[in-house]
Structure 1
Amino acid sequence: MVLRTAVRDINQALDDQITAETTPEQARDLIEAQVRTWISDQAGTGRYTLTAELESRLVYAVYNERFGLGSLQPLLEDPQIETIDVNGADQVWINYADGRKELAEPVADSDTQLVELIRRWGAYQGQTARDFSPAKPRLRLALPDGSRLTAMMTVTPRPVLSIRRHRMLDVDLDQLVEAGTLDIGLREFLRACVAARKDIVITGGMSAGKTTFARALAADFPPEERIVTVENEHELFLHTLPHRHADIVALEAREPNAEGIGGISVSDLVTDALRLNAKRIIVGEVLGPELVPMLVAMNTGGEGSLCTIHADSAREVFARMLILASSGGLTYPPGTLYRLAGMAVDFVVHLRHETFHHQGRPANVRYVSEVLEVLPPADTEEPATTPVYVPGPDGRAVPHTLPQCAADLEAIGFDPSYFGWEYQ
């Protein structure tokens, strides 16, 4: 708390010196000078032990308060942390990649100060400024490092904040093989699907790794292809990987202002994506009315596109589509929506996330459990499906049935021996 008080006092002294035009490099010089001034002022008071270490810590903390997430910034820089949950200023829960959960130090001196910090982050941390106030008590924000921040106030007894970190931004299918998410045969099958420009829907529950998997699939897109990503808040961050994607446009929805004006929805942006000459479109997460524009885009010009949908199994995705369409105000008859999905989607890849205990310690695992080929409806209203990969004894995907489009995959070089047998 003593350090936070010093950081607050130094920042107040900097308010007139650091403006919107000040670069981070210039700001660091100003911060270092103000910290030295503060240390000089404290000399002889006996309130602090003035050391070079204290000076370094103060510069780091003040800089983070201005350009990062304050006392949360060191947690964001820890590669082992997956989620941060703040239930009021003094209750901070940390979840680690190995399954551990620990209580951390407070992030603010009071709930009022916590709200002010969140308001500042909403204004400066994202691509577009987002309000956090009693009039708009919910905030969703993509942070510069790819983490996703969600905050609420007034609808809860105390302000709450959750951060979900994306630890694998620059990722490909080879790395997911190393992580145990899939095996080499499935990697080659999915690479063939991408090369053959098959449209893929990635499904899974919360924290199953859908966004990471979408990044890994996108890493196999030809680097010169024009890609447009569409998200409520940036999470894919493919536009920060120029060595993988040279021609990319990252679209982010915009919330309306307090008067309800100026909002731009994901649904609007999906329609715009085709007008931007996109060869492939990625919708980070389909949540409602953008479903039909995404399916239309896949069916009419965005071949080889990707999207993610929350679902508890691969087959559940079609029921989820109906729910998402109706919750988004769309009134398509089920048969019409199913026919569109059957014509637009080629494969559904389902991910699972499990936590278990090994040798007395918790552990997290994420893996592909199913791959369905999707076909137009036949005997029922729902799209026909072929179970290409099914859960094996340990739940992980194993080959089951050749897809009807097998010849397309073989034509672009897929080795049938990876599937376990020769194509007939």
Structure 2
Amino acid sequence: MSADFTEFLAPGPVPRRLEASPASVDWALVRRLHEVTATALAEELKRRPTLSTVAQQELARTLVQDGIDELVRTRMRAGQVVPTPDEERAIAEAVIAAQFGLGRLQPHVDDPEVENIEAHGHDNVWIGYADGRDVRVDPIADSDEDLVRQLQHIAARLGRAERTLTTASPLLTMRLPDGSRLAAVIETVSRPQLVIRRHRIRNVDLDDLVGLRAIDRPLAEFLRAAVRARKNIVVTGGQGAGKTLLLRALANELPVGENLATIEKHFELLLHELPDRHPRVVPFEAREGTGERGPDGRRLGEVTLTELVEQALVMNVSRVWLGEVRGEEAWPLIEVMEAGEGGSACTLHARSAHHAFERLANLCMRGRAAVTPEHAYRSCASAIDLIVHISTVDERWIGGQRHRFISQVVECNGIGEGGRPAVTDVFAPGPDGRAVPEHDPVDLADYVRVGFDPHWLRPSHGRWAGAAGGRR
């Protein structure tokens, strides 16, 4: 079996030339209808401020259809070509998407095969598909200025709280209603930049990943035992490696009745949207605040990850799972792992499992000026039990595929020589780079206690039989 996250779908060829999406909508007409509809809705909301979103959408559809009907009558009187029924439906949906959704981006977000959307200006737009293809598609706006207006509209309407994208606030990161993450930048770049990362697979566990040939059975059994044994786990890898997907699968191995806190800058784990698996999850999401920064450097209403980690400790939760460690929240998380019952987890950008300790120690010192390197490394060594690293190999530039796979599982065994954490490579890269058993964990008894069979760590149990025989 392979441990390749790209094998959720059969791989497809990498295009040799640019491809265009089959869009044939009259966008100038859509823009005019949208302006008329938005104005009419604004007037209606002044009269009925409690009008629900559903009622607004129904009213908008009526207004749009009225506008299309008037267009058809005008063109018929002038002897001009009128839109077909299919074109009418496409125009109506485009107007509704512009008012209540993501405009021209909406069809791409609705496509279940799309993983990433990138725009370098309004007309240089690329779609990343689940099978590894990157395809250039039609413009998503009439101009860069129009794209900025669309992003401002999205920020004001679709987030959990109203956001802004202006000269004073040129950076935008937000969660879209479907759970995707949108990031945009203006002013500090030559053209507006936009990235949308979608979370295609949510309700997934380790058995699912094995069935999809995403990880091997021995590794799945070991990770399942690690969760049951309440080991503190850090999942590492590069951008887009699949860290959140793996963390979500690990979380779905938790007992259904366990009380869990998830803490994220923007909801990505989405465990609270799986009530059958996680009926007692407490989902925390940071808030960036609004307006100008105060004397303390914070915006009004800002709530940081650090504050949420501290708040989680008084919420009667048995585990704390932090979506991604990026800054000063590293230190309170390490304190939670070090002092709690165990079983916490997070993701971290790092180029290898061993490099994760350097990253975490630096983040701890960045967040607390009084933390010395010795203190940081000692605390990390005391708090962390396992580091699971996902590697990415991108061969698309030579006509191949992008491969994402678990390559290392490292156990932390306290402080070693030189004040750095002592580690055991439980799983190490095999001949093809994917993780194969290397050494028994020092704390093997903890895993056996929760039902783990040590024979899963023997070469005869995996695809590496024979090839890894000399490792032991």
**TM-score, length of structure 2 as denominator length:** 0.85
Provide closer, same or farther for how the CA distance between residues 48 and 288 of structure 1 changes in structure 2, counting only shifts above 3 A: farther
Provide closer, same or farther for how the CA distance between residues 152 and 375 of structure 1 changes in structure 2, counting only shifts above 3 A: same
1:143 aligns with 2:180: no
Residues 290-301 of structure 1 aligned to structure 2 (within 5 Å): 290-301=329-340
Provide closer, same or farther for how the CA distance between residues 78 and 418 of structure 1 changes in structure 2, counting only shifts above 3 A: same
Instruction: Tell me, yes or no, if the aligned pair for 1:325 and 1:331 is still in contact at 8 Å.
Output: no
1:257 to 276, 279, 290: 290
Structure 1 residue 143: Cα displacement: 1.5
Structure 1 residue 139: Cα displacement: 0.5
Corresponding residue for residue 470 of structure 2: none
Corresponding residue for residue 203 of structure 2: 170
The 2-side partners of 1:256 and 1:383 are apart by 38
Residues 7-406 of structure 1 aligned to structure 2 (within 5 Å): 7-15=30-38, 16-17=40-41, 19=45, 21-46=50-75, 49-260=82-293, 261-301=300-340, 303-328=342-367, 330-356=369-395, 361-406=399-444
Number of residue-to-residue matches in the alignment:
421
The superposition leaves residues 339-360 of structure 1 with CA deviations (integer Å, 9 ceiling, x where unpaired) of 11111111000001222259x8
Provide closer, same or farther for how the CA distance between residues 92 and 421 of structure 1 changes in structure 2, counting only shifts above 3 A: closer
Instruction: Tell me, yes or no, if the aligned pair for 1:389 and 1:397 is still in contact at 8 Å.
Output: yes
Structure 1 residue 67: Cα displacement: 2.5
Structure 1 residue 327: Cα displacement: 4.1
Secondary structure of the residue aligned to 1:369 is strand
Structure showing greater Rg: 2
Matching residue's letter, 2:195: S
The superposition leaves residues 227-260 of structure 1 with CA deviations (integer Å, 9 ceiling, x where unpaired) of 1111111111111111211011211111132222
Instruction: Tell me, yes or no, if the aligned pair for 1:200 and 1:307 is still in contact at 8 Å.
Output: yes
1:412 aligns with 2:436: no
Matching residue's letter, 2:306: S
Instruction: Tell me, yes or no, if the aligned pair for 1:135 and 1:258 is still in contact at 8 Å.
Output: no
The 2-side partners of 1:255 and 1:382 are apart by 35
More RCO (CA 8 Å, sep 6+)? 2
Instruction: Tell me, yes or no, if the aligned pair for 2:437 and 2:459 is still in contact at 8 Å.
Output: no
Structure 1 residue 62: Cα displacement: 2.2
The 1-side partners of 2:451 and 2:382 are apart by 24
Secondary structure of the residue aligned to 1:348 is strand
Structure 1 residue 302: Cα displacement: 5.2
The 2-side partners of 1:224 and 1:149 are apart by 33
Instruction: Tell me, yes or no, if the aligned pair for 1:146 and 1:236 is still in contact at 8 Å.
Output: no
Instruction: Tell me, yes or no, if the aligned pair for 2:287 and 2:302 is still in contact at 8 Å.
Output: yes
Secondary structure of the residue aligned to 1:418 is helix
Higher mean displacement: 282-291 or 37-46: 37-46
The 2-side partners of 1:157 and 1:84 are apart by 19
Secondary structure of the residue aligned to 1:234 is coil
Secondary structure of the residue aligned to 1:198 is coil
Structure 1 residue 287: Cα displacement: 0.5
CA RMSD of aligned residues (A): 2.1
**TM-score, length of structure 1 as denominator length:** 0.94
Provide closer, same or farther for how the CA distance between residues 329 and 134 of structure 1 changes in structure 2, counting only shifts above 3 A: farther
The 2-side partners of 1:6 and 1:348 are apart by 54
Structure 1 unaligned residues grouped into runs of 5+: none
The superposition leaves residues 206-232 of structure 1 with CA deviations (integer Å, 9 ceiling, x where unpaired) of 111001111010001111111111111
The 2-side partners of 1:157 and 1:376 are apart by 48
The 2-side partners of 1:102 and 1:37 are apart by 36
Structure 2 unaligned residues grouped into runs of 5+: 1-23, 294-299, 461-472
Secondary structure of the residue aligned to 2:282 is strand
Structure 1 residue 129: Cα displacement: 2.3
Matching residue's letter, 1:388: V
Instruction: Tell me, yes or no, if the aligned pair for 1:146 and 1:235 is still in contact at 8 Å.
Output: yes
Matching residue's letter, 1:163: I
The 2-side partners of 1:256 and 1:375 are apart by 41
The 2-side partners of 1:293 and 1:185 are apart by 33
The superposition leaves residues 311-347 of structure 1 with CA deviations (integer Å, 9 ceiling, x where unpaired) of 0000000111133234446441111111111111110
